[in-house]
Chain A
């Protein structure tokens, strides 16, 4: 991807030179480092992760939404009720219309969601189909949709907030993505541009901007240069080290914690990290505040004690711990023996191989700092920076001990989905092969428990196990650092990173 990104950057330079920054009056041009959607001219919001950009630009909307405190709220839905363990009834708001003016009916919602499970359809999405796990859907009158799931699933209402479950009407040449949001899709160039125009008939009032353009920036530094040159109006993921300076020039700065977590997947099946005590020692030997200060200039992240951002949604109250002496004591307790400036474990030098990838600027220095912190307690560590797939393969094959990754832990606001894929014994992304019967049972219970207080207790327990067993090692939650031209109002950093522009976003006079 590094090669592709740099080629994309070259293309952007050529492209941006010919493209006016604001093609229309009252246009907002945003540069973003991640503009991944399918190579189709019309990226179906239901496929892959196409829904992210359409949700971010206010083109598509979902039945349920996630607010800025990671709480669930009805979006296109007026209400959601559970009538049986596997039956959910969603009532739509009155008077909803698609961009082409057609009414949003219960049948239209069914017709929009059904293709997600249809192989060969442009909207097919295995990931989302698995999240939905639908046995069937039926319309109850014009405004109510009854969803039947295969198994009881307490996360179902949250799942309906996934940007991939965008509600779409019949497409046409004028409205190739016929959605319901404040902006209407106009064109897309993969890895280069996504453009939308105002939907004057939006249900909550006319949008504040005439046009929204998102252009791809290969890295934050190039995005910063384009912003200062006046080629863009806003940068998502501005270089943290330049944040204070650019604010001093009058630019607006936005920074708030998100649910994107930098964390280590550990090889729990073989090697030194198979010892829970060694994992814990490694975890508490990492100076997370030091990493945030050094890598993110103190503004781009918040040290993470647990997997969810502190004080929001499902986060348990687990403190961030940095204690080198305790780390060494844990190593000794694990049976390691200190010989001079190194530790011996099971007759061999305790050596930890860290792998990560280069597509996010903070990953490599975070791994380097971790290496330094481990060496400070006498644990030899090696760092390899490659591609995402290489790192994942290395940890799965037992060729590495720790894999530094960056994931949004609650993309749908629900605590279960990501933890299940990362930590359940049969989790699809459990590349470290972590197994813990208690964890499996808790995650299963979390999915089957509908009482929200009880669910909160279950996921608190899950987070306690993650901390005590170092099932994965959280490092920091990203604080998204964005800047915009003076005068931009109605914008705030959203913790899921999937919401940018609302109908209220506008430039003040």
Chain B
């Protein structure tokens, strides 16, 4: 648990402090040093335009992890609101909201995100929109499930009889009860979103040059896979390890909450 948390903390710190720690400007082109191997000057080597791969990874962490954090929080907010409406509203609201959610779930998330990004054009805004639109449904289902279970609890019924508004009831009773489960779902979605951002970046729908982002770095490096495979390995490892760390964090949180409940 501690080692997992430490690893996740390292990645969070990298996302926050990456630009400070980066030894070089990630966009600084240095053609004579292109495709350089790891060395004392360039610890992870240089890319096809002679840019320091370590610096690009560190700056890219802010984009890959930062955007994933932002998108997963947007999905959390949308999904929570949708789930609460389904749980607190009447049968019609529940039916219509959940069928809408099911409709969204019916599309493979990444394919839907690619279609949206393809229609609107590449860019950071499009990336956020595409992954947010396709990333809220799991929260909605969890929130609705917990909400329906809470709905008949005595203290919730009492609050309704006392004339408290749905917003106040949600704030005081529903959200605190849902928070542990939502955090566990969120960690999974956070990792999932990192993969989504990297996938869209690799497909050419990500952030725009010369900004460094892990998926875009993979895209740029793929042409050199035979001659300098390290170029692909470094951002690939960054994606894999960060996703693994966050997923393990989620598992540990889930186990911890389960132990507390039992």
Chain A residues proximal to chain B, CB less than 8 Å: 2-3, 6, 219-221, 224-225, 228, 239, 241-242, 245-246, 290, 293-295, 358, 361, 364-365, 367-369, 371-372, 382-387, 390
Q: Is the CB of B223 within 8 A of A219?
A: yes
Q: B227 at the A/B interface (Cβ < 8 Å)? A: yes
- Partner of A387 from the list B27, B121, B224, B225 (CB cut-off 8 Å) is B121
21 A–B contacts, CB within 8 A, in A order: A3-B114, A219-B222, A221-B225, A225-B225, A239-B227, A241-B223, A241-B227, A242-B227, A245-B226, A293-B34, A364-B209, A364-B220, A365-B48, A368-B29, A368-B49, A369-B49, A372-B210, A382-B208, A383-B210, A384-B208, A387-B118
Q: B21 at the A/B interface (Cβ < 8 Å)? A: no
Chain A residues with Cβ below 8 Å from B48 are: 241, 294-295, 365
Chain A residues with Cβ below 8 Å from B223 are: 219-221, 239, 241, 361
Chain B residues with Cβ below 8 Å from A242 are: 224, 226-227
Specify the chain B residue showing the minimal Cβ separation from A375. Answer: B27
**Interface-centre pick from A3, A293, A361, A387 (highest chain B CB count, 10 A):** A3
Chain A nearest CB: distance from B251 CB in Å?
A: 31
Contact A385 to B208, CB < 8 A, known contacts A365-B48, A369-B49: yes
B contacts with A, residue count (CB < 8 A): 28
Chain A nearest CB: distance from B24 CB in Å?
A: 14
Q: B17 at the A/B interface (Cβ < 8 Å)? A: no
Q: Is the CB of A368 within 8 A of B210?
A: yes
A385 to B206 CA separation, bound complex (whole angstroms)? 9
Specify the chain B residue showing the minimal Cβ separation from A287. Answer: B31
Q: B203 at the A/B interface (Cβ < 8 Å)? A: yes
Chain A nearest CB: distance from B30 CB in Å?
A: 10
A-B contacts counted at CB < 8 A amount to: 85
Chain A nearest CB: distance from B163 CB in Å?
A: 53
Chain A residues with Cβ below 8 Å from B29 are: 294, 368-369, 372
- Partner of A358 from the list B34, B49, B204 (CB cut-off 8 Å) is B204
Main DSSP-derived SS at the B contact region? loop
Q: B145 at the A/B interface (Cβ < 8 Å)? A: no
Known: A361-B223, A384-B208. 8 other contacts (CB 8 A): A2-B204, A225-B226, A294-B29, A365-B48, A368-B49, A368-B209, A369-B29, A371-B210
Q: B188 at the A/B interface (Cβ < 8 Å)? A: no
Chain A residues with Cβ below 8 Å from B31 are: 290, 293-294, 369
A135 to B224 CA separation, bound complex (whole angstroms)? 52
A245 to B35 CA separation, bound complex (whole angstroms)? 14
Specify the chain B residue showing the minimal Cβ separation from A293. Answer: B31
Contact A365 to B220, CB < 8 A, known contacts A239-B226, A294-B48, A294-B50: yes
- Partner of A239 from the list B49, B115, B203, B224 (CB cut-off 8 Å) is B224
Q: B236 at the A/B interface (Cβ < 8 Å)? A: no
